[in-house]
Structure 1
Amino acid sequence: MISLKSALAKPFAKRIYKNIQKWALNPVETQEKVFQNLISSAKSTVFGKDHDFVNINCYDDFVKRVPIRDYEALKPYVEKVVAGGHNILWKGKPIYFAKTSGTTSGSKYIPITKESMPAHVEAARNAILMYIHETGNSKFVDGKMIFLQGSPILKEQNGIQLGRLSGIVAHYVPKYLQKNRLPSWETNCIEDWETKVDAIVEETLPENMTIISGIPSWVQMYFEKLQQKTGEKIGDIFKNFNLFIFGGVNYEPYRAKFESLIGRRVDSIELYPASEGFFAFQDVQNKKGMLLQLNSGIFYEFVKTESFFDENPKRITVKDVEIGVNYVMIISTNAGLWSYNIGDTVQFTSTQPYRVIVSGRIKHFISAFGEHVIGKEVEQAMQEALLNSNVSVSEFTVAPQINPKEGLPYHEWFIEFEKEPEDILGLAEKIDESLQKQNSYYFDLIEGKVLQTLKITKVEKGGFQNYMKSIGKLGGQNKLPRLSNDRKIVEGFSHKSSTK
């Protein structure tokens, strides 16, 4: 028997689908409206006056007056906001700061305003509603849903609430979902991640879990603890669990491991949230990429990755992007971020409508020899190498080895196996072939005997989790970079690894 909540979800989903179609099918006009609204709203702010917003009438005017900035460059303005200033980056004061731990700037304070907050909540809701509209499956709304996230405890600084984004969003769960939502408030407030996951296992075991959501690596930890406790597959523990919602990292490297833990395939929805804004979500099951949120108070610019570090790189809007090109994504928002580089690189998989995949981080690449290998390429190489094999990988990261004891330099792949290959050299060969196919610079360096083919270093079980714990980044929204241009990360755990 269909419940009232399940029955009402379908017409609601249809209405949201129609609303989304309106702006998704008119992308350029939608973005132009967002742009004009942002400029007119911020004319009287300190930033608006400093950058002559009064005389900005079109995008070209904006490019001339507002340079691309990262957090460090925007920091003088942010500090004024943190100190309690009004009308600095956006009108009035923010209602929250999402506090994040930056890799280069220490703690970052990302403003969230009363205008920007609704988009964080609505985009996550709309992703689920688009899934209901597409599949007709709404039964899961009657079951329990778990969102693995940071603590909802907020602090206050000069009248502004401060916390992690996932903790802030926890305060906005719609009333109709409150009874369905786990973990409990008390469990969610536990700071130590391992203690928290143990408590979540106890709370969820007796429940009818239908949706599980979180960053794949941390959900995997939850699944493993459930399995250790019961000896059962997750799909047998939670018979009605059929939807996994994730964001933050590519799911594909984890998929085989998840299906083994669950015991069957489940549908998944990918989200692209960040403290700076909710940028995209997967709107259909059978197409690659996530629908770019063009109507959420965010104006997007794009710069080709290869020219990003040039003195004056060309900036373009959605109107001029091409499919398959690697772009640095730049945002201006109704939270007061202006031509802000969030550090992510994206590729478009479609322009009708605009869908993107996250291809990596502008700072997370390997170009020790001019090869410019990006996150998407190493993930795809791993995926292709594991295809039709019984090898299973828990986690991996890649670093250059510039000064080997013997022979030419190479890329070193640090891999924690769930199920090890019988032929580790054969696996390395397959990964390398895929990487050479995808990246012509890497191919040329191998061919020209500048680099030797990659080598795999096995990381002991739990090695990556132990590393994240040792740097105080276990759980929450923290994730391990797929690759880096130096050996700082791998030096943290490589002494515990064994090379084959």
Structure 2
Amino acid sequence: MIKYLCGYFTSSFLKKRIKNIESFMRYPIEIQNQLIHQLIFYARDTEFGKKYGFRDIKKYQQFDERIPLCKYSDLKSIIKRIRKGEKNILWPGSVKWFAKSSGTTNARSKYIPVTSFSMNECHYKAGKDLLSIYIHNHPKTKIFFGKAVRLGGSHKLYKNYNTFYGDLSSILIKNMPFWADYICIPGKEIALMSEWEKKLENIIIKTVNKDVRIMLGVCSWILILLNKFLKKFNKKKINEIWPNIEVIFHGGVSLTPYIHQYENLFEKSINYYNVYSASEGFFAVQDKKNVEDLLLLLNHGIFYEFISVKDINEPNPKILSLDKVELNKNYALVISTNAGLWRYIVGDTIRFTNLSPYRISISGRTSHYINSFGEELIIENAEKALNVACIKTDSIIHEYTAGPIYINKKNSGAHEWIIEFKKHPKNLVDFRDILDKELKFLNSDYDTKRYKDIVLGPPIIYVARNGLFYDWLKKHKKLGGQNKIPRLSNDRKYIDSILKMERI
């Protein structure tokens, strides 16, 4: 009885939030203008606010003229001070939590401040709105009458400064409001375990007999967990374990390379809802059934600006406000947030698919692409082309990464793809040719560079052994949480590191 009452009241509460969502969809520019003034007002007496005269800023134009763009490297020394307990630097008061960026190599990690403001007015608020949208799209849903399985990371104390760092997911789980914590399993003790493989085993034990209806996490890691379930209990379909499972809320990596594997796990179709959440903030959610683009969240403590990808490496790139963006152009995302990030270049690239309301698709990373020969290949191109190649060759990809093979005296350049197949194509040459053809179709720069193989030859595909990418992540202590495989790289750092593992 208690679970049905809780489910009813939770559902009723969340249904009311749809009006808030409709408001920023209807008045996007007004909401964003109001938001930037609120952020400036809150931070007017911080060290950063005093330096740039926040008390005198009355218009966006003044903000645009005074506040410089920044990357993490510009904030590193400032954030170190905040981590040691200094107050009123970028945002009022002290900051207790820092989201450690997942990264994909041994490069130094970033520590992104997470304030109580950003937790409540960004991440949790966005989570409530995502559920509100889901209820609106599925009015007969009964997801709140069961449980949600969450996959998260872990956190640690930073020396003796009483500040903590870890995966964003672990921070949100640790501070989760009671209504959300009630429906989530396993408990925090297991959810925040640092040893990933032991965590999976504990999750399996604690959730196998529960009425699970929701899963939340990075889709690649959810897939690993589901496959472990089937193997441990000798089942063919997840519905044999959780008959009422209804939806997977996923983010971090694209579902596209994994969708065929997911479809094979369930005996009846379930819903998949994508979210665009990062250490820096919760940016967008899928607001329509079976549609890939995402609704940009405009009233969640983040003020958005954009730089054309073509200008991103210019010393003084042109910065665009939301009302100046155009459809189907790639932009680097710039944010100012209620965690004290000001005109911060996130590193993601997005493309607007709709301007009323503002909807986006994630096209890649400013650092994850291949442009060694002027081909400007982005993740969006790669995943669409791979998906077509899989469909046409009846194959399934488990993981992949790609990088350049450089031009030398004897050979033109090429792209080398390391692919771990769940289901191998019958003819690898056919797979390669379809991939190549689709990349030409999707990317005119790639097509030009492939002309007669003069600059860029056909793709070279290396078929990885089963478990190679998992072993690589394990070796680099990147299992679980928000960690992910680097999809594209403009150098051979990842490629060579992974191939070295293959030869061991």
TM-score band (shorter)?
Answer: over 0.9
In structure 1, the residue matched to 2:110 is 108
Out of 449, 454, 478, which is 1:445 matched to? 449
Q: How far apart are 1:14 and its partner, in Å?
A: 3.0
**1:254 pairs with 2:258:** yes
Out of 473, 479, 482, which is 2:484 matched to? 479
When normalised by structure 2's length, the TM-score is: 0.94
Letter in 1 for 2:147: K
In structure 2, the residue matched to 1:209 is 212
How many residue pairs align between the two structures? Answer: 498
In structure 1, the residue matched to 2:178 is 175
Q: How far apart are 1:388 and its partner, in Å?
A: 4.8
Match runs of 1:66-465 below 5 Å: 66-102=67-103, 106-118=108-120, 119-151=122-154, 158-232=161-235, 233-403=237-407, 407-447=411-451, 449-465=454-470
Give a deviation string over 1:413-461, Cα, whole Å, max 9, x none. Answer: 1100011001101011111111111111110010152111112110100
Give a deviation string over 1:276-313, Cα, whole Å, max 9, x none. Answer: 11111112214331111111111100001111101211
CA contact (8 A) 2:152 2:192 kept: no
Distance 2:400 2:292 in 1: 23
Distance 1:271 1:303, change over 3 A: same
Q: How far apart are 1:249 and its partner, in Å?
A: 0.9
Distance 1:246 1:293, change over 3 A: same
Letter in 1 for 2:150: F
RMSD over aligned Cα atoms:
2.1
Point out the more displaced range, 100-109 or 177-186.
100-109
Q: Secondary structure at the match of 1:214?
A: strand
**1:468 pairs with 2:473:** yes
CA contact (8 A) 1:460 1:496 kept: no
Distance 2:303 2:106 in 1: 25
CA contact (8 A) 2:249 2:273 kept: yes
Q: How far apart are 1:157 and its partner, in Å?
A: 5.0
CA contact (8 A) 1:154 1:168 kept: no
Letter in 2 for 1:68: L
Distance 1:78 1:155 in 2: 13
Give a deviation string over 1:151-176, Cα, whole Å, max 9, x none. Answer: 26655753434332111111333333
Distance 1:8 1:405, change over 3 A: farther
Distance 1:493 1:107, change over 3 A: closer
**1:490 pairs with 2:495:** yes
Distance 2:77 2:24 in 1: 35
CA contact (8 A) 1:10 1:138 kept: no
In structure 2, the residue matched to 1:64 is 65
Q: How far apart are 1:348 and its partner, in Å?
A: 1.2
Q: How far apart are 1:493 and its partner, in Å?
A: 2.0
Q: How far apart are 1:482 and its partner, in Å?
A: 1.0
Give a deviation string over 1:334-380, Cα, whole Å, max 9, x none. Answer: 11101001111111121111111211110001000111111111011
Give a deviation string over 1:112-150, Cα, whole Å, max 9, x none. Answer: 222211021121122122101111133121112101101
Distance 2:85 2:7 in 1: 45
Distance 1:101 1:222 in 2: 19
Letter in 1 for 2:485: L
CA contact (8 A) 1:155 1:163 kept: no
Distance 1:261 1:403 in 2: 43
Distance 1:356 1:284 in 2: 13
Distance 1:85 1:496, change over 3 A: closer
Q: Secondary structure at the match of 1:116?
A: helix
Letter in 2 for 1:482: R
CA contact (8 A) 1:400 1:412 kept: yes
Distance 1:472 1:10 in 2: 39
Point out the more displaced range, 1-10 or 340-349.
1-10
Q: Secondary structure at the match of 2:400?
A: strand
Unmatched tracts of structure 2, length 5 or more: none
Q: How far apart are 1:101 and its partner, in Å?
A: 4.9
CA contact (8 A) 2:311 2:317 kept: yes
Letter in 2 for 1:110: I
Distance 1:93 1:249 in 2: 32
Distance 1:151 1:75, change over 3 A: closer
CA contact (8 A) 1:359 1:375 kept: yes
Distance 2:159 2:356 in 1: 43
Q: Secondary structure at the match of 1:492?
A: helix
Distance 2:345 2:33 in 1: 20
Letter in 2 for 1:364: H
Q: Secondary structure at the match of 1:49?
A: helix
Distance 2:268 2:288 in 1: 21
When normalised by structure 1's length, the TM-score is: 0.94
CA contact (8 A) 2:401 2:417 kept: yes
Give a deviation string over 1:198-226, Cα, whole Å, max 9, x none. Answer: 22112222222111111111111111111
Distance 2:484 2:102 in 1: 12
Distance 1:404 1:431, change over 3 A: farther
Distance 1:406 1:210 in 2: 57
Distance 2:488 2:107 in 1: 20
Point out the more displaced range, 98-107 or 31-40.
98-107
CA contact (8 A) 1:247 1:270 kept: yes
Q: How far apart are 1:470 and its partner, in Å?
A: 0.8
Q: How far apart are 1:19 and its partner, in Å?
A: 1.5
Q: How far apart are 1:496 and its partner, in Å?
A: 5.2
Point out the more displaced range, 91-100 or 217-226.
91-100
